[in-house]
Structure 1
């Protein structure tokens, strides 16, 4: 596996923050179990496009109670992290993840990435290697490639990306209001939807636009073949953001040691709509990769 020999040399900047080499401070949460229960290993959560690490609360809290050390962070330009005005390419974002892992000296990690965060997790592995990572979970990811091109004819036409970018430039709050319910699913409370919208509205507009462009140009079709760690791929079959057949179904076929778990009726926001089930599946996979019943 190709490995980037340039390391982040990150450090703890102040409580709850690490500093990257380009001066960005990344906010993180490090929830550790009670000493008596602390035998579950470490899970590192990479957040969605537009959302901070807070999105993982309903996975992190029960998993911490189950004995896992749970770490989540805010991507640059998101949540409490710095808004540096740049660095939203996958290489830099993967280096930010490496900075967090190195600064906290984490090892034997179950690395969990959701939506855009799944691509960042994969780029971390192909750029920095798997020495610190034991297994990978990809949830409703943007992998392997979303854009429609001559060699990816089933992809999403550029016109849809441009329409969303126009909403970013004109009325992003209205776009969120119209799309939050399809994202979270019919069972989510209005209060939960409001919570998600409030977090998304705090994200830097510049980061939103730049990260959207990064996702639109992402092509991991060859890169996924280099993933060596056991991988669990999870997605709902009602995901309208990243259609199952275009993303997770193909991703599971490209990664050598991957299994696909499909949640019937689940939307893109599977961490909300199926929070308890997803939490249990992450915990089971992090404890014993053979316990998940998956489909190919």
Structure 2
């Protein structure tokens, strides 16, 4: 069957944009599709990490949320909470989980309506998703954590930092927005037209049914995602400036998130420091970091796990940027 993409681009550009995102998510969640090639060494480290993993359910305000812990929460290392995107699960974040587990415990959560958490009545909001995740951390006895979120999870990471500043330290926001208008309008227009029937027989629907304790509730998840991506939300400039922890923002140069929004968020979080710009060098870790990955789409970001880890680990470890030799 020929691809409908050319027709959609001509007749329904918004839907075409949304379907590109959805098709990419389906590829990410399909268990038969390897997300990245593993060398023998990485396979060995993955096996070691898996042997130290545990999973379970946390009760939060009458709802049960599936989690997985990679590593030892009793260690002296600050945990990293990892939040997935829409139509994904904690399991689908494996490419990003693996590079971080060598240096710190990593916690993944299946958000409400997703993965092994399954259907939870009601619509979604980012405030609600943030409170859910904070409740899971409390159930696990975590008093303070860093957070990394992708797409829907990136917006949730921002919401957690705004609503739970005593719980969340550093935030890594990957292709996530602080307001609905941070997204390319055509993408939102396309998402608003999605129906459960579009997903019939797709890897995304199959993976949902494989993981979910409520396998027949996929149509409600579609409606919930449409709701969260059509109802305006925005964290104020004052809210964003007041976040105490440091922030790293990562996106592709062809992302569904606009570059303008990412730069605005970077500046609100303390980026574009004039003193550093005028002196030409940086002597201490900055309050905010911005990474724009070249030739990278919203979905393509998830193929850049190694690059993201190489940039994010120094941020989490509070390493000062290196000084080149021969200037002073």
Fold conserved (TM > 0.5)?
yes
Is 1:231 aligned with 2:267? no
**Corresponding residue for residue 258 of structure 1:** 288
Q: CA deviation at 1:164?
A: 2.6
What do residues 10-62 of structure 1 show as CA deviations (whole Å, max 9, x unaligned)? Answer: xxxx96100111x2110001010699xx6643110111111111122112123
Change (3 A) 1:243 1:15: closer
Offset of residue 162 of structure 1: 4.5
Cα 1:200/1:237, change in 2 over 3 Å: farther
Offset, 1:91: 2.1
Summarize the alignment of residues 198-213 of structure 1 with structure 2, pairs less than 5 Å apart: 199=207, 204-213=218-227
Distance 1:143 1:96 in 2: 18
Question: Could you tell me whether the CA contact under 8 Å between 1:24 and 1:82 is conserved in 2?
Answer: no
Q: Are positions 1:29 and 2:62 aligned together?
A: no
Q: Deviations over 1:118-140 (max 9, x none)?
A: 22122222222x22222111001
Matches within 5 A, 1:98-177: 98-128=134-164, 130-146=165-181, 156-157=184-185, 161-173=188-200
Say whether the 8 Å CA contact 2:175–2:298 is kept in structure 1: yes
Assess if the C-alpha contact under 8 Å between 1:116 and 1:215 holds in 2.
no
- Indicate the structure (1 or 2) with the bigger Cα radius of gyration: 2
| 1:284–1:292 Cα contact (<8 Å) kept | no
- SS of 1:135's equivalent? strand
The answer as to whether partners of 2:252 and 2:301 remain within 8 angstroms in 1 is no
Shift of residue 117, structure 1, vs aligned partner: 1.3
In the comparison of the two structures, how many residue pairs are matched?
A: 246
CA RMSD of aligned residues (A): 3.0
Gaps (5+ residues) in structure 1? 1-13, 148-154, 177-193
Structure 2 distance, partners of 1:197, 1:207, is 10
The separation in 1 between residues aligned to 2:167 and 2:190, in whole angstroms, is 40
